[in-house]
Chains A and B, each alone.
Chain A
Amino acid sequence: MITVELAKLFRRPRTYVITGLLCALPFIVAVFLATTRVPPPPGQGGAFLSAVLSNGALYPAAAMALVMPVFLPVSVAVLAGDAVAGEATAGTLRYLLVRPVGRTRLLVAKLVSLVVFVLFAIVAVLVTAYVTGLALFGSEPSAGVALPADVTSLSGVTITPAGLALRMAGTVAYIVISMLSVAAIALFLSTVTDSGLGAAMGALAVLVTSQVLATLDAAAAVRPYLPTRYWLAWIDFFRDPVLWRDIERGAGIQLVYLGALLLAAWAAFVTRDVAN
């Protein structure tokens, strides 16, 4: 079933459209930055953006900071919201179920395909951002050979290319985990409604509420439990030494949300009437 879901994912034009849009955002930002050479004031604007002007090799990290807070979760919510509801609307859900495909299996396959999508999209963004970064900003030649470039961490320590690759891998893994809660929320809603749009909207409403509460001092008591609280913790991969605290907590929270919502989706879906 997982292979079928993956085939459906990669045969669907919208997968590439969304990925393309995700890649386009950092590209456009890069073009503006490169032509105007006006960096955001230190401490403001997206993370790493001011550092990028001097070293394009850090642009993938800046690109992550650009797509992470809004664009990526929106695409995940749209896809996950459509996952079950879309099949129900298109009438394919009942044919899958009488094939028969177990309902739990279907949910798991949907989730796996969402994870693969996030992975695919992030890697696509990273690759385009790396190429764009090097092409538009150039890289600072490290001692001797010009390539690959060395990068300075947030703590001012030089990161070796191998170290950068490792940190980037950590970032990708963390972002994939961060998207799990969005995917699980939208997937759960997708099992209780036939409207993919409604499910996506519901998931986004949860995220926006979470983002608002995260900045509200009055809501400090619930802040550690908000799904978006640790979303930007991957930046801590670029500190020296790596600050694991928020990364661990963020991953833990995401897994808890994933577990609870997946259970709820299972409970809602396994005995849900599939009828229009």
Chain B
Amino acid sequence: MTTKRTEERIGPEEQAEARIKAPKQQRSKAAKEQSSKGAGAKEHSATDRAGRKGPSGEKGKSEPREHSLIVTRGLTKRYGRITAVDGVGLEVREGDRYGLLGPNGSGKTTLVRMLLGLVFATRGEIEVLGRPVPSRVREVLPQIGAMVEGPGAYGHLSGRTNLKLFDAAGPGGGRRDRMRRVDAALERVGLAGVDRRPVRAYSLGMRQRLGLAGALLRKPRLLVLDEPTNGLDPRGIREVRDLLTELNAEGTTVLLSSHLLGEINAFCTRVGVMDRGRLVLQDDLAGLRRPTGRVLVSTPAPERAVALLDGRVETRDGTTIGVRHADAAALNSELVAAGIPVTEITVERRSLEQVVLDVTSTSSDRVDA
């Protein structure tokens, strides 16, 4: 429950609050990570950004670190003349809530499929849980729960039967406690009361939940979810997010791909941005959303404020002015001391949206003459 509350603090609707509170836990966690991995990680993400020049893996100092669950190097997939994935150097570390962000058709799904051994790479390397994929993918798949591009189920069977069949199809897990595992998974995704209705009568949201239950059956160490909230209503999306947060707190690493910025923003600790097959950005979210060095001040008397802060005002948008200032509290007292009313004062941060817009080219579905 504590994690849940923490999570709520950085939900989109709490953005305003978060701006002032500047989530302590996030910051401290990010800082810890920064210090633990040191300069190497920064260099790594930097090379990712520079990935267009060559396979980033070669520069990424080869061997994966102990706690990297997924590492790819120069991963490329071509379908005929179309390059769906181009020189991707993905790195997902243990405990990450990794968000793979990108528009439809940017190669996210192909990348995820390659990680699971469903699609075979044209070039490059993949290592998942320390094993090369796909040559030894079967050793690691039992520890992975996956939902790839929508749920898949036998429409004429009930959800419970579907899960039982999928459970029985693979290795491990006795017949004896299969029923219990299935019930537990259904309970977890909020389908505990599901009856014998065939899956074809399910709503898209129910199917999505069923798919999630399938991924959770074996208590995976790594969850790979491709657009898991597709077709869910806002409440459902929230429930799924809470569930994933809970699982992550229990130690499950989550790789989530989505084309929805808000979803990544709300859940992930680390983000990779795909654009036309390339991983154009890979960094910790906290790092991306670092302060810009400006403080945003809303005041009914902007003219006076500008006059007072002469030279330090960098932007002005109606009654809101952006002031270059290191300390919001000090600025506040300065303004108050000058008798300027302040209705709102915030440390300005880079928004994920802005970051994404900066690193991506034109919209992928745009067709210009």
Q: Do the two chains belong together in a single complex?
A: yes
Complex contacts, A7 vs chain B, CB 8 Å: 165, 168
Complex contacts, A91 vs chain B, CB 8 Å: 149-153
Q: Take A1-B169, A11-B157, A275-B113 as given contacts and tell me if A98 and B152 are in contact as well, using a CB distance cutoff of 8 Å.
A: no
A90 within 8 A of B: yes
CB pair A273–B141 under 8 Å, yes or no, is no
- B-binding segment of A99-107, A151-159, A176-184, A201-209: A99-107
B214 within 8 A of A: yes
B342 within 8 A of A: no
CB pair A98–B165 under 8 Å, yes or no, is no
A4 within 8 A of B: yes
Contact with A along B163-182 (1 / 0, CB 8 A): 00110111100000000000
CB pair B119–A98 under 8 Å, yes or no, is no
Q: Which residue of A lies closest to B148 (CB)?
A: A94
Rounded to whole angstroms, the CA-CA distance of A91 and B142 in the bound complex is: 19
- A105 smallest CB distance to B (angstroms): 9
Complex contacts, A54 vs chain B, CB 8 Å: none
Q: Take A274-B113, A274-B118, A276-B149 as given contacts and tell me if A99 and B156 are in contact as well, using a CB distance cutoff of 8 Å.
A: no
Rounded to whole angstroms, the CA-CA distance of A95 and B165 in the bound complex is: 11
- B126 smallest CB distance to A (angstroms): 14
B146 within 8 A of A: yes
In A92-142, which residues have CB < 8 Å from any B CB? Answer: 92-102
- A5 smallest CB distance to B (angstroms): 9
Q: Which residue of A lies closest to B140 (CB)?
A: A100
B144 within 8 A of A: yes
Rounded to whole angstroms, the CA-CA distance of A120 and B194 in the bound complex is: 33
CB pair B156–A98 under 8 Å, yes or no, is no
B316 within 8 A of A: no
Rounded to whole angstroms, the CA-CA distance of A276 and B214 in the bound complex is: 20
CB pair B155–A90 under 8 Å, yes or no, is yes
Q: CB within 8 A of B138: which of A12, A102, A271?
A: A102
Complex contacts, A41 vs chain B, CB 8 Å: none
Q: CB within 8 A of B154: which of A8, A98, A102, A275?
A: A8
B11 within 8 A of A: no
Complex contacts, A3 vs chain B, CB 8 Å: 168
Q: Which residue of B lies closest to A14 (CB)?
A: B156
CB pair B110–A275 under 8 Å, yes or no, is yes
CB pair A98–B148 under 8 Å, yes or no, is yes
Contact with A along B108-119 (1 / 0, CB 8 A): 011001001111
Q: Take A90-B152, A101-B170 as given contacts and tell me if A11 and B144 are in contact as well, using a CB distance cutoff of 8 Å.
A: no
Contact with B along A22-66 (1 / 0, CB 8 A): 000000000000000000000000000000000000000000000
CB pair A100–B137 under 8 Å, yes or no, is yes
Q: CB within 8 A of B152: which of A95, A100, A101, A275?
A: A95
CB pair A4–B168 under 8 Å, yes or no, is yes
Complex contacts, B117 vs chain A, CB 8 Å: 97-98, 100
Complex contacts, A92 vs chain B, CB 8 Å: 152-154
Rounded to whole angstroms, the CA-CA distance of A7 and B162 in the bound complex is: 11
B161 within 8 A of A: yes
Contact with A along B338-357 (1 / 0, CB 8 A): 00000000000000000000
A144 within 8 A of B: no
Rounded to whole angstroms, the CA-CA distance of A8 and B157 in the bound complex is: 9
Q: Which residue of A lies closest to B116 (CB)?
A: A98
- B2 smallest CB distance to A (angstroms): 32
Complex contacts, B138 vs chain A, CB 8 Å: 100, 102
B202 within 8 A of A: no
Most buried by B among A11, A12, A273: A273
Q: Which residue of B lies closest to A1 (CB)?
A: B169
Q: CB within 8 A of B214: which of A93, A95, A274?
A: A95
Complex contacts, B155 vs chain A, CB 8 Å: 90
Q: Take A100-B138, A100-B142 as given contacts and tell me if A95 and B166 are in contact as well, using a CB distance cutoff of 8 Å.
A: yes
- A218 smallest CB distance to B (angstroms): 40
Complex contacts, A95 vs chain B, CB 8 Å: 146, 148, 152, 166, 214
CB pair A273–B120 under 8 Å, yes or no, is yes
In A232-276, which residues have CB < 8 Å from any B CB? Answer: 271, 273-276
Residues of chain A having any CB pair with chain B under 8 Å: 1, 3-4, 7-8, 11-13, 90-102, 271, 273-276
In the assembled complex, 26 residue pairs joining A and B whose CB atoms fall closer than 8 Å, in A order, are A3-B168, A4-B165, A8-B154, A11-B156, A11-B161, A90-B153, A90-B154, A92-B154, A94-B118, A95-B152, A98-B116, A98-B118, A98-B141, A98-B148, A99-B141, A99-B166, A99-B169, A99-B170, A100-B117, A100-B171, A102-B138, A271-B120, A273-B113, A274-B113, A274-B119, A275-B109
Residues of chain B having any CB pair with chain A under 8 Å: 109-110, 113, 116-120, 137-138, 141-142, 144, 146, 148-157, 161, 165-166, 168-171, 214
7 further A-B pairs in the complex, CB-CB below 8 A; given A95-B146, A275-B110: A90-B155, A91-B153, A94-B116, A102-B138, A273-B119, A275-B109, A275-B119
The 8 residue pairs across chains A and B that have the minimum distance between CB atoms: A91-B152, A99-B170, A100-B141, A274-B118, A273-B119, A92-B152, A4-B169, A98-B146
